[in-house]
Structure 1
């Protein structure tokens, strides 16, 4: 599986003119109702691109020449849309948004209905996740602790190994994955639609307490095995051990590998002795629950006396048994998440009610203050009106020349004061429910 093949953004049909999801069922109906070229044109992509989308969604499509055979009545029978395999995406969107169709809770396999391997195609010699992985690991950089490989691509099988341990890790991964596939357990890189999380990796054979910082490579998506519909994360780690070393000529060398000290006056040793973690070549298989809120992890470690490959059959059986516990943890996690969601909604509703009460109290207070202010302004306006009325009345008794000047000054004064109409000011008042 390549990175490009696993991350195709399927555009929405031209008829939609949006980023809505395209379901497996809808795509199946399209590719069997018209030629692939026309289907691809609806999505503004090539027919080969559309074929890759069908492959990723596990949607069967007509073979080359199907429509010509159909025109003469010699077309083969249309195959049904198969049930989605564990890990198959159920729909696709143009912009890569998470799917809207929620998956059901993971379920352990039903042992009574497990298909026999003999009825299926034989297994390959190399598992698809292992095939072609070696050059991609070797082409990358090295970590600054222990010389662990950091491949150039992040969509690869989950290995944390050095260059000397790469072949052994790939051989074990191939044997282990094929053993799982032989039991009808699909081993894949987790689909982009799943919210999976990779467990932390500590490569030390004897981890000490406290946080351990390393800069090991980590894949962009987990490597998982689907047992039933339960996904279990898989990481293969080359362990390291703490060793006494000496710093010589710019590098750390194990004391057992340090060259014998030279004798004589010119034999100066400018290095110093300390401890460092060095890879051991021994492997550790770390399996874990990739589901949020479902913490579960287990390890199988290789020892100098016991090879990890010899334990593959028992490991597969243990994983099959563990699916019951993981499914229970996922169900419990979702139940807790739903309870937290309900508590959060209840808290938000309480905050909303409190905010409504606060706003109502503030509206009542503001409305009352505004009304009192209008009354105060009215009282002042009434005094002003009485003043102007008395002044105008007295002005009528003045001589004509003096009366005209006084009347003009009163008009200017009224203009400066503005309206003294109480109803005009009251109409601008807002009641509490209007705020």
Structure 2
């Protein structure tokens, strides 16, 4: 069945865009917020600036950007737009669940938008310490500031973007702290060195505590590098090989890897990191959930391996017991055949003794008596009982406690 369409004039769409956030309006029209922004740009409809809804929620009185008039000529096709909302059955998405969905809904509220101020105000201790160190730092060959202090935020920028980076970090750290996610510096364990030298600990990493995980983060600036042709004026043993140029483009990274989880945000042509801080918060929660799932998967895999190992050992024990049963039965049968052979021999010997007239020989009869006793003693089926095998303690037992096997020859 064809979906119903909605056609809005420029004026109607302008009114709706300035009445509710695009992130809320776009799904109602069957678009993403990016798609709705593109539609507004095509119709030359201004959209609310960054931070508009947060300021409006704070009670500030703000003016709308007026809807510009279109020229009489060349305005065909940009006076209205047709949208195709999803059917009711498909439009209603499955209810989001879990910490990531809860965080995303929280960050979507206008009053929770993180706004980076134009001036660094009331910096948190980590930012204040880093700012002080960067002011004293000297740039390296690429122009990046290299501070001597150790307990600093993981930031790698040039002098031109240091202030902006600190304002971003300060806003993000305060926002994370307000949401219950503490930012701290953690020194990694010393790495073992070769040739017996003492292990050295690396620089501290900036970690965000989300649930049970400490997630490392970093803010860096992209510095372009171009090959340089050495000239005579360079001098020195190693002439300068590259030219470096700061780009001012910042990149925020989560220094963890999880399949299907975003771990990098960077300045683009239309969007800067300042407008992505709420997305970064959601990304940190998503990363924590991914790490939690990975731990659970590893634990489940370990349990499965232990289960399979126990099955293998049980199988080996059963095979061992089966071998013991077979060996025990072989011993019982060997004794039974031996006792039967002894009795058959004694019967033949008595017949021969009677035929030769020595049936009353004393020493011969004593030997016959001893041989019958021996046959009775080794016979597993006798007046003493029936020999059997038990699996107690993985060892076979017999009614009269004899050994498992009798390797002596039958004859």
Scaled to the shorter chain, the TM-score interval is 0.3 to 0.5
Greater relative contact order, per chain length (Cα 8 Å cut-off, separation 6+): 1
Greater per-residue helix proportion:
2
Which of structures 1 and 2 has the bigger CA Rg? 2
